[in-house]
Amino acid sequence: MPKAAKNDSIVVPALRARTNFGNLLRRVEVERRSFVIEKRGTPRAVLLSIRDYVRLAAPEPEVLRIIAEESVAKGTDKLSSQQIEKIIRETRANQTKRR
């Protein structure tokens, strides 16, 4: 049985990872698990979901998180792209009139 690490990752020997790769991929996706793959007792690689990888590789900047929260609070997160384009056109037209 693979042993669990402190961060909920499961340590798996390389041979077991190779023979059970499809099952590990399923667990990564369905159970949102990550696996530390070790060879001869030394950690060599990590298997994690693409979502977790993107989150780690390109974390969301703080400013985008704040903008998203404000958008949800104001209800503008539900606007369609056509509605957004209309608002932009109207705003630009109003700015042109002021000049």
Contacts of 34 (CB under 8 A, 6+ apart): 8, 9, 10, 28, 46, 47, 48, 49, 52
pTM: 0.54
Where the chain has pLDDT below 50, the residues are 1, 5-6
Give the pLDDT of residue 1.
Answer: 46
Give the pLDDT of residue 49.
Answer: 92
- The 3-state DSSP class for residue 2 equals coil
Q: Are residues 7 and 48 in the same domain?
A: yes
Q: Are residues 27 and 71 in the same domain?
A: no
Give the pLDDT of residue 6.
Answer: 43
Q: Are residues 50 and 91 in the same domain?
A: no
Q: Are residues 8 and 51 in the same domain?
A: yes
Domain extent at residue 23: 3-55
Q: What angle do CA 12, 34, 13 make, to 5 degrees?
A: 10
Count how many domains the chain has: 2
